[in-house]
Amino acid sequence: MFLRLVADSFTRRPKRKMLTLAALALGMAVATAALSVSLDVGDRLAQEFRSLGANLMVTPEADSLPLEIGGVDYRPANAGAYLPEADLGKLKTIFWRFNIMAFAPILEVPVEAWSPARKNWSSPGVVDRSTLIGTWSDHSVPIPDGTTYQTGIEKTNPWWHVEGRWFKEGEDECLVGAAFAKKFGVKPGDVLNVRANDRTGWKGLKVVGIVSTGGPEENAVVASLAVAQSLAETPGKYRRLYVSALTKPEDAFARKDPKTMTPAEYDTWYCTPYISSIALQIGEELKGTDVRVIRRVAEGEGTILTRVRTLLWLVTFAALLAAALAVGASAAASVIERRTEIGLMKALGAGSGLVGVLLAAEQLLVAFVGGGIGYSVGILLARLLGQKIFGFTPEPKLFLLFIVLLLASLITLLGSAYPLRRASQYDPAPILRGE
Amino acid sequence: MADSSMFWRIVRRLITANYGRLFVILLALGAGAAITSALLNLQIDAKRRLTTEFRALGANVIVAPRDANANSGGGTLDQSLLAQLPTENAGKPVPAVAFLYVIGAVAKVGEIHHEAAVIAGTEGQGLTKVRPGRRTDYSAELENDPLACELGAKAAAQFKVHAGDSLHLRNQGREATCKVFAVVATGGAEDTQIFTKLPTAQTLAELPGRISLVQLSVTGTPDSIDSFIKSLSQRLPVADVHGIKQLAEAEGKLYNRISGLLSTTVIIVLLLTSLCVMAGMSNVAIERKNDVGLMKAIGGSVRRVVRLFLAEAILMGIVGGIIGSAFGIVGSIWLGKAVFGVAAQPRWIVYPVSVGITIIVSIASAFPLRRLASVRPANVFRGEA
């Protein structure tokens, strides 16, 4: 009889129940979407910040001071120390190897350049001084465990825009900076002749693109590391390495000096992807280097990320609160409208307790169905929102379904509790009389 | 006018007929208004605050000589240019620091061996803002000395100096000394440089009154920074004003994402609120069948009946909105403190806007009452609901 009554209330007035169900499903859909977006977006946001570029710089430990002004090193080519390119695969063997998003070695060579394309009767192939930046565009690095890893300056410096295409690794191709191209009148397809000194002789590079960076690279030539090494006569060497690592924002603990930590603290610190611990691990692998944290990027990233995460949870909480209110109100409404029925049941001898249980069972059923529908709709909504705002799709999480169902039953019961209590106190007579 | 007083009397009766229901609807409207106004206020504040936070990234605009040729050492600008720069953008101060770079030979006083290093003369407000980094070994009382200088961490290690030590600087026969007041670690090229006061570098370079470039840290939305750069480059035809692309792109991207997220949430919360009120109202519609039947039976037109209910909805929207929005704004001040560490400034424009939105939501959710137009008095009186 109990089950029949419950079933009856659904089949008798399906339209009314649909409304409550819809409200519940919508509320829970929002809750699911908000939760799954904010659960996933934390990692995603950290990756987003990598568009700021590298946050670690590796230079030789024993080195003369670079004479760098506006990104150009004025040291003679033979001054200063170099690092071996062959070691770079070790970067992907450190404890936090999966947090190393990209890296690119740099070797700058002061060069003389001239282009036959510019040669005409008025300016017969003027030779100008410039800088050639040797780096990786999209290089496959052999890792000591036998695999390879694709990385390069495209990934560490995503704000570099290339008109044309990137140079191919190992080819005699190059990109020219936008300002350089304007000044020299070279365009993709032309040949640019470069040499580092009189001894090496001219090397012809095919211009394949024009790079705009907003930085000093606009006045330079960018080519593959191998080209720069052969020009500088330093095979297998580089001078500077940029590393882009995914890190945990620094907190008070991370700012402690590792030397003063207890062994337990040191282990915790070492096994947390703080920028400082990643820097230390890189230093352990690449011998003879000085790994420095690019403070402006690392710290800016840290503060903003912490703030945005708090904001995100707050917003999720607000959406949950609104969803709870909507669900609670519609639950309350669905009880209030059934006063006559309750009166009748009591007149026929049902106790307040039984009426309460009956209505609660009904509400729970609605909560489960609505919660289930809401979860599926919410997953779709989360995909849409994730794609639209963050350009990624959050993974559907099954444990969210349980949370949502729990939330839905809790809120519906809470929302119906007060009207149910009122209903159980109704005197059947006036209700049946229609007052 | 008896007509209008009757109208309001009925409205009053409608509202006060059932206190429980009135409470539920007002709670829904008020809570919706509170969340809306809190989020709206926080959204405006968060966007503004975010642009401020981005400045932890340092200088984002550079004023350099137009004919800058990096290879010939670069042209220079006149120092008076620093005074022509705007000191604020959109109400926020714009720190600007002029730099003059010289390559000189440097040694700790008393040492014979000199080593080449970049000496950067600086002048202007907010060096720590345009060049963020971590200062170690800082001694405040030495900072204002005209011969004070600050060393990058790598340079300090190279010359083995600490705060309080003196350095000897030399360039083509011109000499100067400076007293170290701080060591700074930035992780960039600055780590290897020596920052002196501008006159020291000008003497060494024999370029009195000249500077290499100016770095500015402009606070604002991506658009406002763009227009700042445009207006500045029009005002300074001798100079090339450009933004740092690395920061501009990342900032713009993040800013759009976060503000998109906030706006979406506000819309969702509003939708849910109206759903909430609609649930309450559909209840009202059922209860009022008898009333409407009676009204129609004694000659009330559908239009007047609907007007009655609309008046009721608007009144409830106003009351719920006024109370809820006030709570929301107070709440957002506290929330701002929780997120950004600084209390959010209440924006008064948010108040009327969120009250207005609540009223609109309340009217829209009175939609279920439309059913009442089709009530047939005879059916109601016969008891066939």
In terms of CA atoms, which chain A residue is nearest residue B383? Answer: A434
Q: How many other CB atoms sit within 10 Å of the CB of residue B37?
A: 30
Sequence-distant (≥ 6) Cβ neighbours of residue B358 within 8 angstroms: B29, B32, B33, B36, B273, B317, B318, B320, B321, B324, B325
The alpha carbon of residue B255 is apart from the nearest alpha carbon of chain A, in Å, by 10
The pLDDT, as a whole number, for residue B73 is 46
Q: Does B129 touch chain A (CB under 8 A)?
A: no
The alpha carbon of residue B261 is apart from the nearest alpha carbon of chain A, in Å, by 7
The torsion angle over the Cα atoms of residues A65, A68, A71 and A72, rounded to 10 degrees, is -110
Q: Is residue B143 part of a domain?
A: yes
Q: Do B272 and A57 touch (CB under 8 A)?
A: no
Chain A 193-222, residues with CB within 8 Å of chain B CB atoms:
212-216, 219
Residues facing B108 on adjacent strands: B167
Residues of A in contact with B384 (CB under 8 A): none
Chain B 199-258, residues with CB within 8 Å of chain A CB atoms:
212-213, 242-250, 253-254, 257-258
**Per-residue pLDDT at A120 exceeds 70:** no
Phi-psi group of A284: left, alpha or beta (phi > 0 → left; psi -120 to 50 → alpha; rest → beta)? alpha
Q: Is residue B273 part of a domain?
A: yes
Give residue B384's identity as a one-letter amino acid code. E
Q: Do A434 and B383 touch (CB under 8 A)?
A: yes
Alpha carbons B36 and B353: distance in angstroms, whole number: 10
Alpha carbons A242 and B246: distance in angstroms, whole number: 14
Sequence-distant (≥ 6) Cβ neighbours of residue A144 within 8 angstroms: A89, A90, A93
- Together in a domain, B301 and B258: yes
**Structure tokens, B171:** 């360039």
Choose one of B190, B223, B243: the last residue of a domain.
Answer: B243
Residues of B in contact with A213 (CB under 8 A): 245-246
ipTM (interface predicted TM): 0.70
Q: Which of B103, B253, B257 sits opposite A74 (nearest CB)?
A: B103
The pLDDT, as a whole number, for residue A241 is 92
Q: Is residue B248 part of a domain?
A: no
The pLDDT, as a whole number, for residue A126 is 64
The pLDDT, as a whole number, for residue A7 is 75
Chain A 377-396, residues with CB within 8 Å of chain B CB atoms:
385, 388-390
E strand or H helix at A140, and its extent? strand A139-142
Residues of A in contact with B57 (CB under 8 A): 52, 296-297, 300
Residues of B in contact with A293 (CB under 8 A): 185, 187
Phi first, then psi: what are they for B96, rounded to 5°?
-135, 130
Q: Which residue has the higher pLDDT, A163 or B48?
A: A163
Chain B 3-62, residues with CB within 8 Å of chain A CB atoms:
20-21, 24, 27-28, 31-32, 35, 38-39, 42, 46, 49-50, 53-54, 56-58
Q: Which of A209-218, A259-268, A308-317, A363-372 shows the lowest per-residue confidence on average (mean pLDDT)?
A: A308-317
Q: How many other CB atoms sit within 10 Å of the CB of residue A43?
A: 11
- Together in a domain, B192 and B329: no
Burial of residue A271 (number of CB atoms within 10 Å: 0-12, 13-18, 19+): exposed
**Per-residue pLDDT at A28 exceeds 70:** yes
Report which listed range, A39-43, A331-335, A387-391, B110-114, is most confident: B110-114
Residues facing A133 on adjacent strands: A108, A222
Q: Which of B115, B187, B244 sits opposite A292 (nearest CB)?
A: B187
Q: Does B167 touch chain A (CB under 8 A)?
A: no
Q: Structural domain of residue B130, as residue ranges?
A: 60-243
Do residues A53 and A205 touch, judged by C-beta distance below 8 A?
no
pTM of the model: 0.75
| pLDDT tens, per residue, chain B with 385 residues | 457 787 888 888 877 777 767 777 787 788 878 888 887 887 777 777 778 888 888 888 888 887 655 444 457 888 888 888 888 887 788 889 999 988 888 888 888 888 888 999 998 888 888 888 888 888 878 788 888 889 998 888 888 888 888 899 988 888 888 889 889 988 888 888 999 999 999 988 888 888 888 999 888 888 888 899 999 989 888 888 888 877 777 778 777 877 777 777 777 777 777 776 676 667 667 667 777 788 888 877 777 777 887 888 888 889 988 998 888 888 888 877 877 777 777 778 888 888 888 888 888 777 777 777 777 777 777 765 5
CA-CA distances (angstroms) from residue A308 to A100, A315, B61?
23, 10, 24
Chain A 396-415, residues with CB within 8 Å of chain B CB atoms:
none
- Together in a domain, B65 and B14: no
Q: CB pairs under 8 A, 24+ apart, for A95-98?
A: A95/A270, A95/A271, A95/A281, A96/A245, A96/A273, A96/A277, A96/A278, A96/A281
Do residues B212 and A183 touch, judged by C-beta distance below 8 A?
no
The pLDDT, as a whole number, for residue B71 is 41
The pLDDT, as a whole number, for residue B1 is 46
pLDDT category of residue A81 using cuts at 50, 70 and 90: confident
The alpha carbon of residue B183 is apart from the nearest alpha carbon of chain A, in Å, by 14
Question: DSSP code of B97?
Answer: E
CA-CA distances (angstroms) from residue A413 to A309, B26, B87, B306, B341?
32, 20, 59, 34, 37
Alpha carbons A113 and A220: distance in angstroms, whole number: 10
User: Which residue, chain included where needed, has tokens 């699911």?
Assistant: A32
- Together in a domain, B154 and B184: yes
Alpha carbons B183 and B151: distance in angstroms, whole number: 5
| DSSP per residue, B245-294 | HHHHHHHHHHHHHHHHHHHHHHHHHHHHHHHHHHHHHHHHHHHTHHHHHH
**Per-residue pLDDT at A104 exceeds 90:** yes
**Per-residue pLDDT at A4 exceeds 80:** no
Residues of B in contact with A297 (CB under 8 A): 57, 187
Choose one of B193, B223, B243: the last residue of a domain.
Answer: B243
The pLDDT, as a whole number, for residue A121 is 54
**Mean pLDDT calculated for residue range A400-423:** 80
Backbone Cα Rg of chain B: 34
Residue pLDDT, tens place only, A210-232: 998 877 888 889 999 999 998 88
Residues of B in contact with A389 (CB under 8 A): 257, 260-261, 264
pLDDT category of residue A135 using cuts at 50, 70 and 90: very high
CA-CA distances (angstroms) from residue A196 to A186, A202, A231, A404, B57?
20, 8, 6, 66, 36
User: Which residue, chain included where needed, has tokens 């948010």?
Assistant: B350
Residues of A in contact with B268 (CB under 8 A): 30, 34, 319, 322
Q: How many other CB atoms sit within 10 Å of the CB of residue B93?
A: 15
The pLDDT, as a whole number, for residue A16 is 66
Look at chain B and count its residues. Answer: 385
Q: Is residue B232 part of a domain?
A: yes
Alpha carbons A9 and A45: distance in angstroms, whole number: 47
Alpha carbons B84 and B94: distance in angstroms, whole number: 12
Residue pLDDT, tens place only, A137-151: 888 888 888 888 889
- Together in a domain, B153 and B238: yes
Mean pLDDT of chain A: 81
Total tally of structural domains belonging to chain B: 2
Do residues A20 and A335 touch, judged by C-beta distance below 8 A?
no
Alpha carbons A419 and A98: distance in angstroms, whole number: 55
Alpha carbons A10 and A364: distance in angstroms, whole number: 13
Do residues A34 and A320 touch, judged by C-beta distance below 8 A?
yes
Q: Does A66 touch chain B (CB under 8 A)?
A: yes
In terms of CA atoms, which chain B residue is nearest residue A63? Answer: B158
